[in-house]
Amino acid sequence: MKVVLLGPQRHDPNLGATVRSLEFQGRVATVTAGWQEREADDAELCEHLGHRCVNLELYRRASDVFRRDPELDAAHQARQERLHRMQDLYTIRLNHAADACHALASSDAPDTLKLQELAGAVEALRTLDREHLGHVAEVHAEFVVRFRPLEREGVASMRGELAAILRDVSALVVAGGHVAVLLNRLRLFGIVELLGDRPVIAWSAGAMAVSERVVLFHDDPPHGPGHPEALENGLGLIPRVVPLPHARYRLHLDDPGRVSLMARRFAPAACVPMDGGARLDWNGAALWAPPGNYLMEESGAIRELAEASA
């Protein structure tokens, strides 16, 4: 499957140019569920797509399903509450583990001593992320086994409609917004399984949702230390990439310590800052990016991605 990740579209849109470069025939399907109540406000998006689009309305559909299926609604809410609490507990461990990494990195001890300790601290962080993602995946799996969402009447009926729409489109476009809301709706209706080999274009939260692992990040939040958090596994449509939308705004890209820790923590996946105009392609075998796209290096530097491959 071909997947194209883009930077945020509001101020420096390259969606239209990307779609034209891919030479799609016919309509494309759009997902704007991350916009929640504003899901239907997609006039500007349709304009970028030359008005050849159909919105899958996953947010509206999910709301309808939950309204008609109180048991699923209650189960969904209970699962989200459980995940929320798990995230809080994970964050307690995360803050200590990440603080240890930063303290070691800034220590004035000789490199021969501190690098070994730092390597251990980074590995502890990676283990913590791995464990957390595993626990979250178990919760999702348990939900599927117990409540069988795809087999429930409301979901199955909507899914039939979605399958019919997707049969007639040449690609899927996934916009940003609230990443958990978006990912939950994509999962609820099993969109990936309906896609076949149709290409996917996604940006911001959409790019995060289709990657292997969703990482939340902001180096300078109003409260708290601002350590990146692993949220859950994504849809895994593009391998070994952690997309970082609005990176220039959200991250201290000029802080080699933070850049290095992020690169080491999520390796072998590449942490890719994705600001306006960014583009990264996966053709099913290799990554490709045009000039002007970057990745974080373990050295703490920001390096331009090679044009041929990443």
Partner 1 sequence: MSGTATVGLAIHDLATRGGARPEAVDAFLSAHRFPLVEGSGCTFVFRGQADGVNLKHWVFGLPASQAFHRVNGTDLWYLVVELPPRSRVEYKFEVVRGGNGTWIEDPLNDQHAHDPFGSNSVVHGAGYEEPDWIRPNPTTRPGSLRSMVFRSPALGGDRQVTLYLPARYRTTRRYPLLVVHDGSDYLRFSSMQTVLDNLIHRLDIPEIIVALTDPGDRLAEYANLEAHSRFLVEELVPQLEKELPLAATPDSRCLMGASFGAVATLSTAVRRPGYFGRLMLQSGSFAFTDIGPSRRGPVFEPVVEFVNEFRARPRKVADQVFVSCGTYESLIYENRSLVPVLQSTGMEVRFVEARDGHNWENWRDRMREGLSWLFPGPLRMVYE
CB of 291 to partner 1, least distance (A): 24
Residue 177 binds to partner 1 (criterion: CB under 8 A): yes
Q: At what angle do helices 256-266 and 111-147 cross, to 10 degrees?
A: 50
Residues of span 94-133 touching partner 1 by CB under 8 A: none
Q: Which of 53, 208, 242, 287 binds partner 1 (CB under 8 A)?
A: 208
Nearest to 2 by CA among 138, 173, 253, 254: 173
Q: Which of 163, 216, 267, 301 binds partner 1 (CB under 8 A)?
A: 216
* Residue closer to partner 1 (CB basis): 89 or 306: 89
Q: How far apart are CA 224 and CA 82, in angstroms?
A: 22
Residue 221 binds to partner 1 (criterion: CB under 8 A): yes
* Residue closer to partner 1 (CB basis): 140 or 218: 218
Q: Which of 14, 204, 211, 260 binds partner 1 (CB under 8 A)?
A: 204
Nearest to 43 by CA among 27, 58, 55: 55
CB of 308 to partner 1, least distance (A): 28
Number of residues that bind partner 1 (CB under 8 A): 24
Residue 92 binds to partner 1 (criterion: CB under 8 A): no
Question: Buried b vs exposed e over 179-211: b needs ≥16 C-beta within 10 Å?
Answer: bbbbbbbbbbbbbbebbeebbbbbbbbbbbbbb
Q: How far apart are CA 224 and CA 142, in angstroms?
A: 32
CB of 244 to partner 1, least distance (A): 9
Contact in structure between 72 and 48 (CB atoms under 8 Å): no
Residues near partner 1, by CB under 8 A: 8, 10-11, 34, 37-38, 41, 176-181, 204-205, 208, 216, 218, 221-223, 229, 245-246
